[in-house]
Each structure stands twice: as structure tokens, then as C-alpha cells.
């Protein structure tokens, strides 16, 4: 490579000011070099990158694997990392990995799926698969946390959903977990049953900052859980589900992605807000994305609700999204007929949505969807406005977001 252009040096400088341990975070060019298949997969990757290769010999003993930085499962690579603030990268070779991933370490971690097309979700070659649900007679009653394909949270307690309007009471002294997780070109699928059969998570993230790029998350119910103090950003991703499939307590921003309905049930979003002494922006924001049915054989025209309030402090906004005709005319709905959970504090909103699922008359008649003016949307209109530093009302916590991804 030739001398680094000035713009690169400037952005490197900005990064090192934002993050104390930025030195091993990848630029886009470095990431492409690492992700691209080469005879020695790790060539082009930063020094110290771990490799996940399911065909690595069985005869290789675990300590030998660690010495060579080669692992047969993704979780064994994750577990080999120290639980400290150091940065790490893991490159994953093509394959279907049937395992649950659980990241508790605080240090920046990047997971890369190997691919010839790092800017194409459909060319992804890595799928992480698990089959678990909960809450029904056939599944038992585990906390939702135990069903997830990928968990990013510092402790078990911080990841538990619990019950009631405020969920599991996470102990006060719980440390923050991962400060800068990045996942690229990976699919996370929980295929317990091909329909809603109790909570069945693809992602569970709490007390952590997590970014996903060209990733897919698929299940049928409760696909994505962004729990307490969770900040999650998804761009150029696909999230598929049927019932309440974006839910949680934290903050989720979805940008330029597909939100895919595999049936209707509950609503797409089911958020629980939290009363804090400061003004918070906890909620789910779906921006410049497409909301559509998975395929044309699904007969769900006018049947899917945008969301419903898991508690009355629910906040969700679909902004500048294209909605297909599966969305019901009234948009958002009450939690249930005898338990509406809609109060003045409930924010189930839209801003400049369009497409066949946008029906202004229907929204007004339904009486629960708020259609925002430009002024009302403004305080929520970008990731830098909604991602807060943990435990404060201060926004601008976006040092972990990769803005460069198209
Ligand atoms: C490798 O070990 C796993 C269990 O750890 C076993 O299921 C598999 O059959 C083994 N493969 C070979 C090629 O020996
Ligand atoms: C990681 O950094 C945080 C914030 O700077 C610090 O409080 C914590 O002690 C560090 N943790 C470790 C394991 O070094
Ligand atoms: C990953 O998900 C995308 C989007 O649904 C899909 O097009 C692609 O085929 C999937 N790849 C694998 C290996 O599952
Ligand atoms: C994740 O790993 C931590 C540390 O081993 C463990 O305490 C926790 O129970 C795991 N989380 C889940 C959801 O299994
Ligand atoms: C997790 O929460 C339970 C129930 O509140 C509590 O008994 C336990 O001590 C907590 N565990 C940790 C490690 O904080
Ligand atoms: C359409 O999507 C539904 C929901 O995921 C699935 O059950 C069905 O098999 C799909 N049909 C086709 C033709 O792909
Ligand atoms: C938040 O505060 C309001 C007003 O005091 C109260 O009605 C509501 O139950 C509280 N909600 C939660 C989830 O704590
Ligand atoms: C829009 O909503 C109104 C009120 O529910 C309904 O009468 C009308 O048919 C809807 N229009 C379309 C195109 O669905």
C-alpha cells in the first residue's frame, strides 16, 4: 500500500480521540482485505486475528488451537479472549455453525464472516443457528435470554427479561459490558419452529454497544431483544419475524434495512420504556427501511400491526419507511382489548412513511398512532440524538458506530 491519504489519517486521528483502544479497529479497506478469501485466510487481517475454521483437525488439541489462533467453533474463539479492554477480531470461514454465542468481555470485538462480497447481505456465507423457544407447554419456561443465538451482555442477570412493567431487576453494581461490538456479514437464525411458538431470540443484547452490518436475524417471535442499557445499530441488515419481533428496554436504530414479516401477531415493535430521573430516548427507531412480507404467498394484506405497547412508556418510530400492504390501516394497536396500555406517554409514531401500508385516514381513525411533524421528529432524527451514555440523559454515544458502511 502507498502512503495513507490525508483523509484516512484524519479519520484515524478522530477515532483515536474517541476511543482509547482504537488502534486495532479496522478501516473498511482493512476489513475487506481480511474478509476476502485467500489461501491463508488470515493474510490481510490485523495481527492477532483469530480464525474460526470448522474443518480444523480434531487431532489439534485445544491449547494447540489457541497457540495457532485457529478454533473450530465461534464460541471457543470468543472464550479464548481475555476479559479486558483489549481489542480483538475474529474471522469466520463459511459454514453453518450450530451453537449459541455469548459475549461478556468489555473490550472492542469485531466478528467478520468471510465473503467475496462484503457489501452484499445475500452473499453471506456464515450462518449461526440455534433452535430454542420458551414460554409454552412444549418449550418450558426458561427466561427468554436462554433461547438466543447471540447474546452480548456482561452478566446473566443483565440479560434476563424477567416480567412485569420493569422486567428483571438488574443489580445496581452491574458493570457495563462490551463497549464496541461490531458484526459484519453474518446470519443469525433461531429456527425452533417455522411459526410463533413462544419467544425465540436471534439476538439478546444488554449493557452493551453493538453494531451490525450486512447481518440477518431470523426467527418468528421476539427475534431481537435490546435489553436494559443496550444500544444497538443495524445497517443494511434483514430482520425477520412474526410476533413482537423487535422488543426490549434499550435503544435500537435500524437503518437502510429490510424488516420482514413472516406472518402477523402482536406488533412488529413491542417496547418497554423506563422512568428515569433524566429525559431518556429509549426506544426503537426504524429509518429509511422497507417493511414487507417475506414472500407473496403469505396472505396477510392489511393484517400486521406496526407495534403495540409492552408497557405504556413504549417508544417506537418508523420514519421515512416504505410499508407494504400487509400493514393494517390503523398502524399501531393497543396491547390487548382489556389491557390497552396506551397513555399520554406512549409514543407509537411514524414520520413520513409511504407505500401501500401507509393510510392517513386509517391512522387517524385508529386513534393510537402518532403522526409526527418535522419538529416532533427532530429530537429523534439521528443515531447521535438517541444513543445515550449509560445511566445519563446525555446523547451522542456513537463512537462505536461504523458510519462508513454503505
Ligand atoms: C471431530 O470431533 C467431533 C466431536 O468433538 C466429532 O463429532 C466428529 O465426528 C470428529 N470428526 C472427525 C473427522 O474425526
Ligand atoms: C476497562 O476500562 C474501563 C473504563 O476506562 C475501566 O473502568 C475498567 O476498569 C477497565 N477494565 C479492565 C478489565 O481493565
Ligand atoms: C444470509 O441471509 C441473507 C438474507 O436473508 C440471505 O440472502 C443469504 O442467503 C443468507 N446466507 C446464509 C449462508 O444463510
Ligand atoms: C453467558 O456467559 C456468562 C459467563 O460464563 C454466563 O454467566 C451466562 O449465564 C451466559 N449467558 C447465557 C444467556 O447463557
Ligand atoms: C442475580 O440476581 C439474583 C436475583 O436477584 C441474585 O440473587 C443474584 O445474586 C444475582 N447475581 C449476581 C451475580 O449479581
Ligand atoms: C413464505 O414465508 C412463510 C413464512 O416464513 C413460509 O412459511 C413459507 O414457506 C414461505 N413460502 C415460500 C413459497 O417461500
Ligand atoms: C412511570 O411513571 C408513571 C407516572 O408516575 C407511572 O404511571 C408508570 O406506571 C411508570 N411506569 C413504569 C414502567 O415505571
Ligand atoms: C384506509 O383506511 C380507511 C379507514 O380504516 C379504510 O376505510 C380504507 O379502505 C383504507 N384504504 C386502503 C387503501 O386500505
Does the structure show a pLDDT above 50 at 23? no
171 touches ligand 5 (CB under 6 Å): yes
Rg (CA), the chain: 21
Give pLDDT, residue 393: 93
Q: How far is the CA of 216 from the centre of ligand 2 (A)?
A: 31
Closest residue CA from atom 2 of ligand 7? 275
12 falls within a domain: no
Render pLDDT for 247-279 as a digit per residue (tens, 0 to 9).
999 999 999 999 999 999 999 999 999 999 999
Which set of grid coordinates corresponds to residue 281? 430516548
Domain total of the chain = 1
> Mapping DSSP to helix (H, G, I), strand (E, B) and coil, where does residue 164 land?
coil
Determine, yes or no, domain membership for 87: no
Residue 334 belongs to domain with CATH number: 2.160.20.10
Which of the ligands is closest to the CA of residue 158?
Answer: 5
- CA separation for the pair 99, 89 (Å, rounded): 19
Residue 59 placed within a domain: no
Between the CA of 185 and the centroid of ligand 3 the distance, in Å, is: 9
In whole angstroms, what is the distance from residue 268 CA to residue 34 CA? 36
Within 10 Å of residue 322's Cβ, how many Cβ atoms? 16
Q: Is residue 285 part of a domain?
A: yes
Give pLDDT tens digits for 60-107. 666 666 677 899 999 999 999 999 999 999 999 999 999 999 999 999
C-alpha cell at 312: 405504556
Tell whether 365 is covered by a domain. Answer: yes
Q: 24 falls in which pLDDT band (50, 70, 90)?
A: low
Task: Judge whether 230 lies within some domain.
Answer: no
- Do the domain assignments include residue 241? no
Segments forming the whole domain that contains residue 352: 265-397
Q: Tell me if 352 is assigned to some domain.
A: yes
- Whether pLDDT at 20 is above 70: no
Cell numbers that stand for 22 in this block = 482504537
52 three-class SS: strand
CA atoms 340, 343, 345, 351: torsion sign: positive
Residues with CB under 6 A from ligand 4: 102, 104, 145-146, 151, 156, 159
Amino acid at each position: 500500500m502507498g502512503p495513507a491519504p490525508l483523509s484516512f489519517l484524519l479519520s484515524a486521528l478522530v477515532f483515536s480521540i474517541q476511543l482509547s483502544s482504537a488502534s486495532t479497529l479496522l478501516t473498511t479497506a482493512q476489513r475487506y482485505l481480511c474478509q476476502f478469501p485467500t489461501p491463508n485466510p488470515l493474510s490481510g487481517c490485523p495481527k492477532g486475528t483469530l480464525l474460526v475454521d470448522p474443518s480444523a483437525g480434531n487431532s489439534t488439541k485445544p491449547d494447540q488451537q489457541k497457540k495457532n489462533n485457529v478454533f473450530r467453533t465461534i464460541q471457543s474463539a470468543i472464550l479464548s479472549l481475555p476479559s479486558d479492554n483489549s481489542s480483538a477480531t475474529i474471522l469466520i470461514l463459511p459454514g453453518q455453525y450450530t451453537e449459541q454465542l455469548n459475549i461478556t468481555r468489555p473490550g472492542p470485538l469485531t466478528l467478520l464472516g468471510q465473503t467475496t462480497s462484503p457489501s452484499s447481505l445475500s452473499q453471506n456465507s456464515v450462518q449461526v443457528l440455534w433452535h430454542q423457544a420458551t414460554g409454552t407447554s412444549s418449550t418450558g419456561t426458561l427466561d427468554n435470554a436462554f433461547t438466543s443465538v447471540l447474546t452480548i451482555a456482561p452478566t446473566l442477570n443483565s440479560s434476563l427479561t424477567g416480567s412485569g412493567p420493569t422486567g428483571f431487576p438488574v443489580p445496581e453494581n452491574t458493570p457495563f459490558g462490551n463497549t464496541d461490538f461490531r458484526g459484519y456479514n453474518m446470519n443469525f437464525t433461531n429456527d425452533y419452529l417455522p411459526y410463533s411458538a413462544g419467544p425465540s431470540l436471534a439476538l439478546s443484547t444488554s449493557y452493551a454497544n453493538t453494531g451490525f452490518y450486512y447481518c440477518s436475524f431470523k426467527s418468528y417471535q421476539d427475534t431481537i431483544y435490546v435489553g436494559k442499557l443496550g444500544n444497538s445499530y443495524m445497517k443494511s441488515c434483514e430482520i425477520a419475524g412474526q410476533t413482537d419481533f423487535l422488543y426490549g428496554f434499550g435503544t435500537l436504530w435500524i437503518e437502510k434495512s429490510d424488516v420482514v414479516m413472516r406472518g402477523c401477531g402482536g406488533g412488529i415493535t413491542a417496547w418497554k420504556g423506563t422512568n428515569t430521573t433524566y429525559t431518556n430516548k429509549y426506544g426503537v427507531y426504524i429509518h429509511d427501511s422497507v417493511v414487507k412480507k417475506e414472500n407473496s404467498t403469505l396472505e396477510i394484506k392489511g393484517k400486521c400491526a406496526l407495534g403495540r405497547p409492552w408497557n405504556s412508556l413504549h417508544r417506537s418510530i418508523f420514519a421515512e419507511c416504505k410499508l407494504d400492504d400487509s400493514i393494517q390501516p390503523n398502524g399501531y394497536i393497543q396491547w390487548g382489548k382489556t389491557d390497552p396500555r396506551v397513555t399520554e406517554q406512549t409514543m407509537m409514531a411514524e414520520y413520513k412513511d409511504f407505500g401501500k401500508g401507509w393510510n392517513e385516514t386509517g391512522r387517524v381513525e385508529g386513534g393510537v398512532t402518532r403522526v409526527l411533524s418535522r419538529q416532533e421528529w427532530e429530537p429523534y432524527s439521528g443515531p447521535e440524538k438517541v444513543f445515550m451514555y449509560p445511566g445519563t440523559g446525555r446523547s451522542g454515544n456513537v463512537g462505536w458506530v461504523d458510519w462508513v458502511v454503505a
